[in-house]
């Protein structure tokens, strides 16, 4: 199970003030949940990872709270063509689609927090999320894979129905030349065990959101398929904020799209 810490403890571990921690949380850079009393709680492993990264203030400057709010408002307005143009501009400003995906992840988390804090309705949160997925899907579909492109499957683990992250991963991977396809249904380990042998798959990306906090279940899920992936030569990436094993015998652990970019770079270098 994940360990959660208070804002005060997070400030001690990060070496910054409470205002900075709250700003990073509001910008989507530091995921959290609220207790029944309205207090923020942060996942200890994520706080420690951020503290170890040494990025400090630079983390808050990549995509500001104001930009996140502007994106959320634009999604509610719902002009499809304008949103797609805005998305392409974001990718250009962020250098590549991995950078854009980091920003859009912050927008998605912001929508979820607003709904959880009763600052927007279920309908508004749903509309913003749906329109975000529509434009991401449209951009990914527009990226035709070249002949012979390495096939890549992106899916969520069983019990996880959060598709924004996997959809963004599909877009990023297509931008790097993979023939990536996203499974919209959650994927049980036994289905993968029967599918992988002889599939010809080059890369498997599995996503587990922060709601997947049962570390033992996710470790079993990973171990059920890791040996087959290694035997079949299928590279594997474990993504999202779920409680995946911290050390892998095979594959890559990616919490962010920056991590995913680094993993792909590492694969290309081999």
Task: Give the torsion through C-alpha atoms of 109, 112, 117, 118, to 10 deg.
Answer: 150
Closest Cα partner for 61 from 108, 93, 98? 93
Q: What is the Cα–Cα distance from 204 to 211, expressed in whole angstroms?
A: 21
Question: In 3-state terms, what secondary structure has residue 254?
Answer: strand
Closest Cα partner for 254 from 132, 172, 136, 182? 172
By the 8 A CB rule, do 235 and 251 touch? yes
Domain 151-269, what architecture? 3-Layer(aba) Sandwich (3.40)
Which of residues 26 and 221 earns the better pLDDT score? 221
Which tens digit of pLDDT belongs to each residue from 137-180?
999 999 988 889 999 999 988 878 778 999 999 999 999 999 99
Q: What is the Cα–Cα distance from 107 to 76, expressed in whole angstroms?
A: 12
Closest Cα partner for 155 from 231, 112, 209, 107? 209
Q: For residue 166, what pLDDT is reported?
A: 93
Angle (nearest 5°) at CA 109 between 91 and 142: 35
Closest Cα partner for 262 from 45, 30, 106, 53? 53
Q: How do the domains of the chain map onto residue ranges?
A: 4-59, 65-142, 151-269
Question: In 3-state terms, what secondary structure has residue 198?
Answer: coil
Q: What is the Cα–Cα distance from 71 to 40, expressed in whole angstroms?
A: 24
Sorted by sequence, the CB contacts under 8 Å of residue 269 that are 6+ apart come out as none
For the cut 60, the answer to whether the pLDDT of residue 1 exceeds it is no
Sorted by sequence, the CB contacts under 8 Å of residue 109 that are 6+ apart come out as 28, 31
pLDDT band at residue 39 under the 50/70/90 scheme: confident
Q: In the sheet that 151-156 helps form, which strands lie side by side, from edge to edge?
A: 179-182, 151-156, 203-207, 235-239, 252-254
Structure tokens at 155: 């899916």
| Section 193-213 average pLDDT | 90
Q: What is the Cα–Cα distance from 225 to 227, expressed in whole angstroms?
A: 6
pLDDT band at residue 251 under the 50/70/90 scheme: very high
Structure tokens at 160: 């996880």
The fold of 4-59 is Multidrug-efflux Transporter Regulator; Chain: A; Domain 2 (1.10.1660)
For the cut 60, the answer to whether the pLDDT of residue 54 exceeds it is no
Q: What is the Cα–Cα distance from 133 to 168, expressed in whole angstroms?
A: 8
For the chain, percent helix, then strand, then coil, each to nearest 5?
A: 55, 15, 30
Q: Which residue has the tokens 């129905």?
A: 161
Q: What is the mean pLDDT of the chain?
A: 86
For the cut 70, the answer to whether the pLDDT of residue 27 exceeds it is no
| Section 203-209 average pLDDT | 93
């Amino acid at each position: 199970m994940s360990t959660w810490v208070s804002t005060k403890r997070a400030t001690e571990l990060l070496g910054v003030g409470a205002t900075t921690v709250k700003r990073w949380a509001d910008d989507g850079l530091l995921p959290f949940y609220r207790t029944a009393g309205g207090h923020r709680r942060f996942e200890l492993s994520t706080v420690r990872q951020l503290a170890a990264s040494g990025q400090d203030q630079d983390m808050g400057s990549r995509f500001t709270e104001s930009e996140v709010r502007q994106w959320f408002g634009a999604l509610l307005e719902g002009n499809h063509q304008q949103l797609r143009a805005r998305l392409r501009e974001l990718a250009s400003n962020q250098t590549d689609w991995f950078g854009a995906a980091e920003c859009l992840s912050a927008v998605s988390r912001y929508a979820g927090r607003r709904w959880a804090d009763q600052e927007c309705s279920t309908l508004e949160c749903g509309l913003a999320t749906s329109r975000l997925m529509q434009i991401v899907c449209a951009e990914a579909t527009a990226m035709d894979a070249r002949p012979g492109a390495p096939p890549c499957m992106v899916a969520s683990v069983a019990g996880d129905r959060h598709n924004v992250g996997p959809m963004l991963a599909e877009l990023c991977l297509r931008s790097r030349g993979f023939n990536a396809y996203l499974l919209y249904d959650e994927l049980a380990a036994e289905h993968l065990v029967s599918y992988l042998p002889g599939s010809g798959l080059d890369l498997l990306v599995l996503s587990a959101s922060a709601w997947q906090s049962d570390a033992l279940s996710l470790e079993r899920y990973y171990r059920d398929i890791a040996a087959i992936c290694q035997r079949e030569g299928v590279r594997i990436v474990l993504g999202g904020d779920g409680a995946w094993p911290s050390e892998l015998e095979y594959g890559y652990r990616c919490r962010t799209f920056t991590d995913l970019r680094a993993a792909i770079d590492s694969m290309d270098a081999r």
